[in-house]
Amino acid sequence: MIPRSRRRERAVEAVESTGLGPRDLLAEATAGILQRPARSVLTALGTVLGVGAFVAVLGLTATASSQIDARFDLLTATEVTVEDIAAEQDEFAGRAFPADADARVERLNGVRHAGVYWTAGTDRGLRVTAAPVGAGAGGRPIDVVAASPGALRAAVPTLAQGRLYDGYPSRTKQPVAVIGSGAATLLGITTLEAHPAIFIDGKPFTVVGILSDLSRKADLLLSVVVPRTTAETLWGPPARGAKMLIATDTGAAVQIAAEAPTALRPDHPEYLKAIPPPDPGTLRADVTSDLNQLFLLLSGICLVIGAVGIANTTLVAVLERTGEIGLRRALGARSRDITAQFLAESGALGSLGGLIGTSLGTVTVVGVAVVRDWTPVVHPATVAAGPAVGLTTGLLAGLYPAWRAARIQPTEALQR
Amino acid sequence: MTAPVIEFRQVGLTYPGPPRVPAFRPCDLIIERGEFVTVTGPSGAGKSTFLNIAGLLDAPTTGRYLLDGVDTGALKDAARTALRGRRIGFVFQSFHLLPHRSALENVLLAMVYNGVPRKERAARAREALDRVGLGHRTAAPPTRLSGGERQRVAIARALVTRPSLLLCDEPTGNLDTVNASTVLGLLDGLHSDGMTVLVITHDAGIAARGARTVALRDGVLTERVVTT
């Protein structure tokens, strides 16, 4: 005989519901999906496309933005150009840059180097030759640029040979020149050991340096650069307005751009137009254009189609598996266990679609980046969001079929 | 003294309709532990309704039903489901095996909802398949089993939770005579081992195998004791 207390225990144990554990739920959902693998793959396809498009759009946007970020490097961020627009303001204004322009701007806090430059003799067509007469005197299409020493230093030059003209030749208006490596080749100058001279409109200039590279204003590599003072003496003031190149400390550029016109011309700051570096925030905003929003909308539509596909297939599966649902109920599955199983199946299908879609989207981004020679950038948040979006889609799509499945009465289901 | 496995106290079921259908008229019935009872009657006599009530798949509209001494009328749905899962093993006419799973996996399914620890399940499933003589076919899917073998897998699935009651609904309805005889022999063997077996059948020959037969006609249950 079983004692009364033991009988009570057995009774309580019998009616205590344990339900479906998480591991069993996962195993049953996986088995449900693998039951019809081809159908499962087709069902997940909508989510694959939706999530793939989502990841690809966000990834390509990030990649394109980073290209702009790359262009917007330290060099660009510390460069300010000031233009002479005096002629637009007042036809009798004359030159906007004062003679001591370099010194005025270099006094500003945060300025490393600053100098005025312009292309000299544009109105008369200066002819640069390697010899006053003879074979070397054919003349080459080489620009002559008048630049103060500060302008050259602001361009961050690398010298192959020789040196820059420093303050003295500039102050005393010496006929000296620094030439770019390209111009040197055109003029047949390979070494400075013999102190070669070039002739600009027949006037000899001693070459003191050859530039091998410039971080800014790389066009100077094909030019002959002479001191501003020398150029003004020989050929007069700039015909089309000069410019000033300012190299600043990091973060100072915008401030310097605001101050420079006043420092140069306290009487007429409006004669000068300072161009600060572009704001990176504005650039990124430009990239997130209407086109990307359109693509995101399309990926949303794909997801909705994917969700409808999952909902439809899961509903068909519920109807097909009515007998199985009845059996599970007879074996002790509560209606919430049935709900959980079908939700888990649709959720797993959605997640699977999300995972594959994320992979395909990432591959697309990498592929486009490789073709365009860009650096592919996919934010970790995008990669994490992909499967989560798939899971959410799957769960939402499974809600109605799971609810229907849970309402199936075991007595009816077992008749089938 | 242990409680009877099934105790009906004026249990009846009327479908509210309209029209109202008294599918199972109020009656008393006690089935003690270890009995082999057959329930017989023609089509439409109320056999399925009786099965649904006894199997806790449907609740009676009148009376009290005690299963293993537990008053099922007081239970909420989750508790009824738990009681059903643990105390009743079902054997259906159409087997209800999952076609994409092996015989072993079909038997394992019965333990998924009843809190049987995972590590115990495989051994218990094999033991149940051995008991029905299918220890060598554990990996076969139902599609590669004969009708008789399928029903034996279903019996193994019903046994594996060690229920108090084996509830069989036309267990040989889809089988030829040879396979039917094997399955009935198996049920006899289980009964001999002490299992309480309740077989619902329209076949008078099978009904006669029970030590005790209950007849159903037009929803009215009448008992006749067969002396063998």
How many whole angstroms separate alpha carbon B41 and alpha carbon B215? 6
Chain B 51-80, residues with CB within 8 Å of chain A CB atoms: 52, 55, 57-58, 68-70, 75, 77-80
Establish whether the linkage from the previous residue to A196 is cis, with ω within 30° of 0.
no
DSSP B84-131: HHHHEEEE-TT----TTS-HHHHHHHHHHTTT--HHHHHHHHHHHHHH
The token pair at A262 is 């006043």
Asked whether residue A79 carries a pLDDT value surpassing 70, the answer given is yes
Q: Which residues of chain A are within 8 Å of residue B161 when distances are taken between CB atoms?
A: 332
Residue B101: pLDDT band with limits 50, 70, 90 = very high
Share of residues in chain A with pLDDT > 70 (%):
87
Mean of per-residue pLDDT scores for chain A: 83
Average pLDDT (A175-199) is 87
- Residue A40 in contact with residue A33, Cβ under 8 Å? yes
Q: Which residues of chain A are within 8 Å of residue B48 when distances are taken between CB atoms?
A: 411, 415
Find, in chain B, the residue whose alpha carbon is nearest to that of A335. B78
Q: Indicate yes or no: CB of A328 within 8 angstroms of CB of B109.
A: yes
Query: Any residues with CB less than 8 A from the CB of B17 and at least 6 apart, and which?
Result: none
Average pLDDT (A156-160) is 89
Q: Indicate yes or no: CB of A333 within 8 angstroms of CB of B90.
A: no
Q: Which residues of chain A are within 8 Å of residue B71 when distances are taken between CB atoms?
A: none
Q: Which residues of chain A are within 8 Å of residue B92 when distances are taken between CB atoms?
A: 414
Residue B125: pLDDT band with limits 50, 70, 90 = very high
Q: What is the pLDDT of residues A40-49, one digit of tens each?
A: 888 888 888 8
Find, in chain A, the residue whose alpha carbon is nearest to that of B68. A11
What are the backbone dihedrals phi and psi of residue A211, each rounded to the nearest 5 degrees, phi first? Answer: -85, 130
Asked whether residue B144 carries a pLDDT value surpassing 60, the answer given is yes
- Residue A8 in contact with residue B67, Cβ under 8 Å? no
Q: Give the Å distances, CA to CA, from B154 to A93, A327, B39, B103, B127.
A: 105, 11, 20, 9, 14
Q: Which residues of chain A are within 8 Å of residue B81 when distances are taken between CB atoms?
A: 17, 329, 332-334
Average pLDDT (B179-190) is 90
What is the identity of the amino acid at A17? S
Average pLDDT (A232-248) is 85
Measured between CA atoms, how close is A286 to chain B, in angstroms? Answer: 55
Average pLDDT (A176-205) is 87
For A89, what's the count of Cα atoms within 13 Å in the CB-facing half-sphere?
15
Lowest mean pLDDT among A277-281, A332-336, A364-368: A277-281
Q: Indicate yes or no: CB of B79 within 8 angstroms of CB of A17.
A: yes
Establish whether the linkage from the previous residue to B18 is cis, with ω within 30° of 0.
yes
Asked whether residue B227 carries a pLDDT value surpassing 60, the answer given is no
How many whole angstroms separate alpha carbon B103 and alpha carbon B141? 6
The token pair at A258 is 């605001």
Mean of per-residue pLDDT scores for chain B: 89
Q: Indicate yes or no: CB of B70 within 8 angstroms of CB of A326.
A: no
How many whole angstroms separate alpha carbon B195 and alpha carbon A175? 119
What interface predicted TM-score (ipTM) does this complex get?
0.92
Among B228, B190, B189, which residue's Cα sits nearest to residue B210? B228
Handedness of CA A322, A323, A328, A330 (dihedral sign): positive
Q: Which residues of chain B are within 8 Å of residue A410 when distances are taken between CB atoms?
A: 57
How many whole angstroms separate alpha carbon A315 and alpha carbon A64? 42
Average pLDDT (B99-110) is 92
Lowest mean pLDDT among A60-64, B12-16, B57-61, B196-200: A60-64
Lowest mean pLDDT among A5-9, A275-279, B122-126, B195-199: A5-9
How many whole angstroms separate alpha carbon B23 and alpha carbon B182? 33
Q: What is the pLDDT of residues A348-385, one digit of tens each?
A: 989 999 999 999 999 999 999 888 888 888 888 888 98
Residue A314: pLDDT band with limits 50, 70, 90 = confident
DSSP A152-171: HHHT-EEEEEE----HHHHH
Give me the pLDDT at residue A6, please: 56
How many whole angstroms separate alpha carbon A264 and alpha carbon A252? 17
Average pLDDT (B49-72) is 92
From A323, A337, A410, residue closest to B57, measured CB to CB: A410
Query: Any residues with CB less than 8 A from the CB of A297 and at least 6 apart, and which?
Result: none
Average pLDDT (A208-222) is 87
Query: Any residues with CB less than 8 A from the CB of A187 and at least 6 apart, and which?
Result: A128, A129, A130, A136, A140, A142, A179, A198
* Mutation target vs A (from B50, B81, B155; most A CBs, 10 A cutoff): B81
- Residue B73 in contact with residue B64, Cβ under 8 Å? yes
Q: Indicate yes or no: CB of B114 within 8 angstroms of CB of A332.
A: yes
Average pLDDT (A160-176) is 85
Asked whether residue B166 carries a pLDDT value surpassing 90, the answer given is yes
The CATH number corresponding to B6-224 among 3.40.50.2300, 3.40.190.10, 1.10.10.10, 3.40.50.300 equals: 3.40.50.300
Q: What is the pLDDT of residues A103-148, one digit of tens each?
A: 899 898 889 999 999 888 777 777 788 777 665 555 567 888 999 9
Q: Which residues of chain A are within 8 Å of residue B96 when distances are taken between CB atoms?
A: 323-324, 326-327, 330, 414
Lowest mean pLDDT among A54-63, A86-95, A275-284, A385-394: A275-284
- Residue A78 in contact with residue A72, Cβ under 8 Å? no
Q: Which residues of chain B are within 8 Å of residue A329 when distances are taken between CB atoms?
A: 57, 81
Chain B 151-210, residues with CB within 8 Å of chain A CB atoms: 157, 161
Give me the pLDDT at residue A364, please: 92
From A17, A330, A337, residue closest to B90, measured CB to CB: A330
Share of residues in chain A with pLDDT > 90 (%):
20
Share of residues in chain B with pLDDT > 90 (%):
53
Whole-prediction pTM value?
0.67
**What is the pairing mode between strands B62-67 and B70-71?**
antiparallel
Give me the pLDDT at residue A115, please: 92
User: Using beta carbons and an 8 Å cutoff, which residues of A are at the interface with B?
Assistant: 1-2, 7, 10-11, 13-20, 23-24, 28, 31, 34-35, 323-324, 326-335, 337, 410-411, 414-416
* Beta partners for residue A243, in sequence order: A83, A117
From B86, B112, B118, residue closest to A14, measured CB to CB: B86
Average pLDDT (A247-260) is 85
Find, in chain A, the residue whose alpha carbon is nearest to that of B51. A411
Lowest mean pLDDT among A17-26, B22-31, B65-74, B213-222: A17-26
Average pLDDT (A209-232) is 88
Give me the pLDDT at residue B228, please: 45
